Each structure stands twice: as C-alpha cells, then as structure tokens.
Amino acid sequence: MKLSLFKLGLSLVIIGMVWCSFIFAESEKTSDSIILKQSNSFELKSEFMGEDIGFYKLFMPEFSGEEIFVQILDSQDNVIQEERIQTKMSVGYFDFEDGTFTIKVTNISKTPVDLQIEFGDTNSHEMVPAGILVLAGAVAMIIISYFKIQNYKIEHPEENIS
C-alpha cells in the first residue's frame, strides 16, 4: 500500500483532533443540573490555577424559548463576562488567572428552566502541540489537493455540432 501525502496529512489531522479531544476531556470541570424557577439564580464556583482560558456550557434539554442571563465573576465578585442566552445550548469562553471564579445563572423567563451547567478549564496551553499537528496535516492536504486540481483538465464538447 502506497502512503500518499494526502493520506499522511489526513492521518495527522485525525491524530491531532483526537489528542485535543483527550486533553479537553481530561481537563478540570464542574457540572450540575438544576431547575430554575422564575427570577431565581444559581451559582457554581470553581478554582482555577495558572493563566489560561476557561469555559462554560449551558444546555436546556427541553428548550422552548426560555431566556437566561449568565455572568462570570472573579474572586472579588467583579463581572468578567455577561450574556443573555436564548438557545438550547450555549458555550462561552473567558480568560482567567489564579483564583476562584463563579458562574451565576439567572432565569429571566416566565417559566421554570431545566438547566445543565458545565464550568471549567480548557487546558488550551497543553493543546498547542496537537494544534500544530492538525495545522501541519491540513496544510499538507491543501498543498497536495492544489497540485492535483492544477493538473486536472476538463474536456469540453464542440459547441457547434451539426
């Protein structure tokens, strides 16, 4: 079996993606499920070390147009990020340094909301080698595809056939 540059690039992309997924799956995160009544709030805290990128994922399994308000607070209760969410699932990211961070979710709709929250660290610094692997594979695939398309010729039929 001959190994082409395209197959090698595809293999590098797949390996890099699996590596990134594994790193993200092993990251520290906190999750909880709750049913929020009208105008009620819920807080979830997590301790972050170092300097990296944090994330939150909100999922409403039985979504029917409800709206919630989300705030990310730092150790001194300063608002880092805030957002109104009116979708079934939402993911957000924020920068952090050492400290305890809090996600505060408030139900601003008139009906109770069934909510699943995930809050944690992305470990983005550990994903750099895997990202380079994905980039190298993608560039190899683009280059080999360009050369194959460049040599491809299309036969055109005669326009004035009697």
Count other Cβ atoms within 10 Å, centred on residue 162. Answer: 3
Task: Quickly state the pLDDT bin for 49 (edges 50, 70, 90).
Answer: confident
15 & 35 share domain: no
What pLDDT digit, counting tens, does each position of 58-106 carry? 999 988 888 999 999 998 989 999 999 999 999 999 999 888 999 999 9
Q: Which residue has the tokens 């805030």?
A: 82
User: Which CATH number belongs to the domain containing residue 36 in this structure?
Assistant: 2.60.120.380
66 & 132 share domain: no
Domain-embedded: residue 151 = no
pLDDT of residue 160: 61
Q: What is the average pLDDT across 39-63?
A: 90
pLDDT at 26 over 90: no
pLDDT of residue 77: 87
86 & 131 share domain: no
pLDDT of residue 148: 84
Q: Looking at beta carbons, which pairs linking 122-126 to residues 24 or more positions away fall under 8 Å?
A: 122/24, 122/27, 122/52, 122/53, 122/54, 122/55, 122/93, 123/23, 123/24, 123/26, 123/27, 123/52, 124/52, 124/53, 125/50, 125/52, 126/23
pLDDT of residue 133: 94
Average pLDDT of the chain, as a whole number? 88
88 & 109 share domain: yes
114 & 132 share domain: no
pLDDT at 21 over 80: yes
Domain-embedded: residue 159 = no
The domain containing residue 114 runs over which residues? Answer: 29-122
68 & 134 share domain: no
What pLDDT digit, counting tens, does each position of 103-151 carry? 999 999 888 999 999 998 988 888 899 999 999 999 999 998 888 888 7
15 & 75 share domain: no
Q: How many domains does the chain have?
A: 2
45 & 69 share domain: yes
pLDDT of residue 10: 92
33 & 57 share domain: yes
User: For residue 110, what are its two tokens?
Assistant: 């008139």
Task: Quickly state the pLDDT bin for 1 (edges 50, 70, 90).
Answer: low
